[in-house]
């Protein structure tokens, strides 16, 4: 019989248990083909749909229509019907274990977990919480343990992410070595060890929020997205062992994992929450007023889809 705490509730890496199309992974529980939890032929609802839109359009008081405003996606609702299919013997411990595992995995919790779905070889995932679990206790369920349950999740962030988290980094720009005397044609100006620039790809259809880490020793670290002009810049001095982590999803700026330093943002620094990678390629530049060997910027992100 299942224990009171099982790995099925663990927030394991998204899609790490999925092996074939049609499978769904919720936290540490695998649903779909090859499991005691079959996905109904009606499939999943709300997965490929655009989420509901919150619009800032303003009606024109003296004309038809409205002035178009910003639009933001609301939370994504994902649902489906899951068949409980215990061992062929039916009833007894096998049926009880099946439903107990489902109860533990689909319990009401405040913390979000990864919900991943694989279709046509593509696995995408959202951070979600369970919002509904309905298991009819009819005669078939009572005698055989077979039931058609309804499940619904709510994802506060409606974007679907690629499971693989990507990381790239660069040192601040180093000057070129310059000309070597005596001069020899063609002139060789030398090559910079680092340009301080990064080209990063968001392969999805939705903007994504990166996590940016500045490593000392450096002063006044900054990052600029060259296409949009978005910039984050902080009036702080980082020692060699210091790390300043900027989580643009949460809008936090944390020094060494404990101390908030969001207040060090300079006037030409934009809101952290608005620093995103649009679909396609983003060109980032890492700069600092001064730096020494070991200074570095690291960027972590996932491509995102609507």
pTM over 0.75? The answer is: yes
* Domain boundary, last residue among 125, 144, 161: 161
Find the domain containing 294 and state its range.
166-305
pLDDT at 179: 46
Residues 88 and 121 in one domain: yes
For a pLDDT cut of 70, what percent of the chain falls above it? Answer: 90
Q: What is the mean pLDDT of the chain?
A: 90
For residues 211 and 151, membership in a common domain is answered with no
Residues 88 and 111 in one domain: yes
Asked if residues 192 and 229 have their Cβ atoms less than 8 Å apart, the reply is: no
236 and 93 part of one domain: no
Query: Is residue 256 situated within a structural domain?
Result: yes
Tell me, what CATH number does 65's domain have? 2.40.30.200
The SS3 assignment for 8 reads helix
Q: Average pLDDT of 85-114?
A: 83
Question: Residues 227-282: pLDDT tens digits?
Answer: 999 999 999 999 999 999 999 999 999 999 999 999 999 999 999 999 999 999 99
Where would I find the H helices in 125-242? 139-144
- Give the residue from 225, 230, 226, 221 showing the smallest Cα distance to 288: 221
Domain match, 86 and 25 both? yes
Say if 299 falls within a structural domain: yes
pLDDT of residue 88: 45
pLDDT tier for residue 174 given thresholds of 50, 70 and 90: confident
58 & 93 share domain: yes
The answer as to whether 1 is a domain residue is no
CA 224 – CA 207 distance, rounded (Å): 16
Residue 287 maps to a domain: yes
Residue finishing a domain among 131, 161, 191: 161
Q: Which of 161, 185, 220 is the last residue of a domain?
A: 161
Same domain, 31 and 110: yes
- Kindly give, in sequence order, each residue whose CB lies less than 8 Å from that of residue 254, ignoring residues fewer than 6 positions away: 244, 245, 247, 260, 261
Q: How many domains does the chain have?
A: 2
- Of 16-20, 86-90, 221-225, minimum mean pLDDT range: 86-90
Is 293 part of a structural domain of the chain? yes
The reply to whether 176 falls in a domain is: yes
pLDDT at 127: 97
Q: Please check whether residues 71 and 214 belong to one and the same domain.
A: no
Question: Which residues, 6 or more positions from 287, have their beta carbon under 8 angstroms from its beta carbon?
Answer: 172, 173, 196, 221, 222, 223, 224
User: What percent of the chain stands above pLDDT 90?
Assistant: 80
For the stretch 277-303, pLDDT in tens is 999 999 999 999 999 999 999 999 999
Q: Are residues 172 and 286 both part of a single domain? A: yes
Q: Nearest 5°: phi and psi at 249?
A: -70, -50
Write the pLDDT tens digit of every residue in 40-75: 999 999 999 999 999 999 999 999 999 999 999 999
Could you tell me if 156 and 13 lie in one domain? yes
Q: Same domain, yes or no, for 200 and 301?
A: yes
Q: Which CATH number fits the domain that encloses residue 294?
A: 2.60.120.860
- pLDDT at position 6 is 54
Residue 62 sits in the same domain as residue 184: no
Q: Which residue has the higher pLDDT, 187 or 204?
A: 204
From residue 91, alpha-carbon distances to 44, 123, 140, 147 in Å are 28, 34, 10, 12
The answer to whether position 2 is within a domain reads no
């Amino acid at each position: 019989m299942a224990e009171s705490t099982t790995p099925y509730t663990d927030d394991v890496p998204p899609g790490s248990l999925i092996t074939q199309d049609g499978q769904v992974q919720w936290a540490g529980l695998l649903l779909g083909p090859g499991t005691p939890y079959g996905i109904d032929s009606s499939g999943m609802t709300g997965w490929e749909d655009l989420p509901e839109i919150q619009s800032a359009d303003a009606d024109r008081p003296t004309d038809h229509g409205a002035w178009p405003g910003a639009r933001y996606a609301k939370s994504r609702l994902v649902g489906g019907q899951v068949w409980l299919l215990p061992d062929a013997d039916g009833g007894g411990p096998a049926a009880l274990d099946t439903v107990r595992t489902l109860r533990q995995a689909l319990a009401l919790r405040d913390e979000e977990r990864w919900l991943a779905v694989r279709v046509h070889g593509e696995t995408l995932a959202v951070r979600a919480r369970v919002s509904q679990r309905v298991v009819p206790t009819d005669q078939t369920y009572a005698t055989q343990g077979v039931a058609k349950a309804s499940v619904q999740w709510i994802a506060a962030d409606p974007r679907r992410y690629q499971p693989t988290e990507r990381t790239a980094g660069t040192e601040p720009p180093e000057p070129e070595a310059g000309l070597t005397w005596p001069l020899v044609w063609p002139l060789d100006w030398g090559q910079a060890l680092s340009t301080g620039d990064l080209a990063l790809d968001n392969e999805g259809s939705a903007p994504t929020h990166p996590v940016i880490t500045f490593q000392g020793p450096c002063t006044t670290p900054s990052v600029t997205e060259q296409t949009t002009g978005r910039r984050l810049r902080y009036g702080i001095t980082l020692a060699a062992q210091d790390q300043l982590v900027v989580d643009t999803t949460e809008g936090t700026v944390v020094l060494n994992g404990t101390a908030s330093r969001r207040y060090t943002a300079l006037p030409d620094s934009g809101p952290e929450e608005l620093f995103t990678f649009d679909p396609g390629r983003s060109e980032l530049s890492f700069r600092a007023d001064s730096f020494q060997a070991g200074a570095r910027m690291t960027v972590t992100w996932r491509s995102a889809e609507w």
